[in-house]
């Protein structure tokens, strides 16, 4: 009998034969979070375990489904990464990035932050929220407890349980469910009229910035009705130690009228935000790109011609034979590469790409069969990096493959649509039927 219990304990501590559960890290109303280790990779993760029965009982199953779909969609250096989701008869398991630095809230609980320190956290928060909004995702429960810090002290946004998609908008284009934590909630959300999710998130960002700089909340009252009244009126005072620029930005963020409240582009343009360069975590891809050297650069004097393609290469490049949809869930508009054929020499393709780079603020690194464009401006996920590789099918017939090597996919797709495709149009080979090969 004792052995049986021992076995069941071991199987519960070993999830799906893949994760070994460790100590408890924290718990909320519906979930417990454990330290866990992936036995296949040795990687440490945070395992969030949600009881199905409890969630179904209070009608929150939709919220859990939403959290899964949102977190699969938002991959960003300042957002906690969801590795995978598993389920048993009674529980749902979220294997998430383990963020070891604790909550930002506990830092503030020790006392207010210096303005330059608060600025770094705020810049990272805005970078993550801008990324979510560009994907039509609104967090709706932003507060210091949902902002974690990693080992290097970088911010990570978590808890997308209350988040909403753009698809949740009613016909009036607005969201209609009241949620969030009272002290951080925008007045229009409390008012139970429709509200814009992006504007409501920015109000919460304003409250967070105030708390970081002041060490206390802007709207405080033991009586919740009195507190709501203050929120409605935007009735708060900045402490004397706030700098004039910080005061100005917070006043624009905590504007009770959502239609005149500051936007993300205006925030990033403000003098306070721009005072020091935003600290962006460099992705592994970006680090690899900076250390990247074309093989050709090391073979001076040995002219490397474009690689010749055989029939199998051509089949694999053809969209009709592209098997990736069987393995990936990428939407067509989220493709990270485009290909086209041309009868122009490689030098013409390279000079055309150099023209595009010049017009779009990119630096260029090139060889005879490859071109890399490195963006100068920091985007939603760092700097955009694009690489074009030229293959020879026959001496006078080339295939060019362009792919994203760093930065945000959405920004890459916009660049391809607005800049790259129009610039390459006249060098792209068209079939006798008049169809372009640009895919």
Binding site members for ATP? 52
Catalytic residue chosen out of the listed positions 81, 130, 141, 222:
141
- The CA-atom distances, in angstroms, between 109 and each of 120, 156, 240 are 18, 18, 20
- Cα separation of 282 and 14, whole Å? 34
Output the six-digit token pair for 73. Answer: 């969609």
- Cα separation of 351 and 390, whole Å? 13
What residues are designated binding site?
A: 52
- Cα separation of 51 and 67, whole Å? 15
- Cα separation of 370 and 137, whole Å? 37
- Cα separation of 419 and 361, whole Å? 12
Query: Is 141 tagged catalytic?
Result: yes
Torsions phi, psi of 229, nearest 5? Answer: -65, -40
Say how many C-beta atoms besides its own lie within 10 A of residue 439's C-beta. Answer: 13
Quick check: 206 and 250 in contact, CB under 8 A? Answer: yes
Question: Residue 301: CB partners within 8 Å, gap ≥ 6?
Answer: none
Output the six-digit token pair for 123. Answer: 């810049």
Which contiguous run of DSSP H or E holds residue 33?
strand 31-38
Beta strands in 232-360 (DSSP E): 307-308, 337-342
- Cα separation of 388 and 367, whole Å? 11
Beta strands in 226-369 (DSSP E): 307-308, 337-342, 362-366
Output the six-digit token pair for 173. Answer: 């284009």
- Cα separation of 428 and 261, whole Å? 46
Query: Active-site residue numbers?
Result: 141
């Amino acid at each position: 009998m004792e052995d049986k219990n021992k076995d069941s304990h071991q199987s519960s501590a070993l999830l799906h034969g893949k994760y070994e559960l460790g100590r408890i890290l924290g718990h909320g109303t519906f979930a417990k979070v454990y330290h866990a280790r992936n036995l296949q990779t040795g990687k440490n993760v945070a395992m969030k375990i949600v009881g199905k029965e409890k969630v179904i009982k209070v009608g929150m199953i939709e919220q859990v489904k939403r959290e899964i779909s949102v977190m699969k969609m938002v991959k960003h250096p300042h957002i906690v990464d969801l590795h995978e989701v598993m389920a048993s008869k009674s529980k749902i398991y979220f294997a998430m990035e383990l963020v070891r630095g604790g909550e930002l809230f506990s830092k503030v609980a020790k006392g207010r932050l210096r303005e330059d320190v608060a600025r770094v956290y705020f810049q990272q928060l805005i970078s993550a929220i801008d990324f979510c909004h560009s994907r039509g995702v609104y967090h709706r429960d932003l507060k210091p407890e949902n902002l974690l810090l990693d080992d290097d002290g970088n911010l990570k946004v978590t808890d997308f349980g209350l988040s909403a998609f753009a698809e949740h908008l009613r016909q009036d284009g607005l969201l209609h469910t009241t949620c969030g934590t009272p002290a951080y909630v925008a007045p229009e959300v409390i008012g139970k009229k429709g509200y814009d999710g992006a504007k409501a998130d920015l109000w919460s960002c304003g409250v967070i910035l105030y708390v970081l700089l002041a060490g206390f909340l802007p709207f405080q009252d033991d009586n919740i009705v009195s507190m709501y009244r203050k929120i409605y009126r935007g009735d708060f005072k900045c402490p004397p130690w706030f700098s004039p620029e910080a005061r100005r930005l917070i006043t624009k963020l905590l504007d009770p009228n959502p239609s005149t409240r500051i936007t993300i582009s205006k925030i990033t343009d403000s003098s306070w935000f721009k005072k020091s360069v935003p600290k962006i975590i460099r992705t592994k891809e970006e680090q690899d790109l900076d250390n990247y050297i074309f093989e050709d650069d090391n073979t001076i004097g040995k002219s490397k011609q474009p690689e010749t393609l055989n029939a199998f290469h051509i089949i694999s490049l053809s969209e009709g034979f592209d098997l990736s949809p069987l393995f990936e869930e990428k939407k067509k508009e989220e493709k990270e590469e485009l290909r086209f054929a041309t009868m122009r020499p490689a030098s013409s393709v390279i000079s055309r790409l150099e023209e595009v780079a010049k017009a779009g603020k990119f630096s260029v690194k090139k060889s005879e069969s490859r071109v890399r464009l490195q963006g100068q401006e920091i985007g939603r996920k760092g700097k955009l990096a694009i690489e074009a590789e030229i293959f020879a099918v026959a001496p006078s017939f080339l295939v060019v493959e362009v792919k994203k090597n760093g930065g945000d996919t959405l920004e890459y797709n916009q660049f391809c649509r607005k800049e790259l495709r129009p610039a390459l149009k006249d060098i792209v080979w068209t079939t006798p039927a008049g169809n372009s090969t640009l895919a």
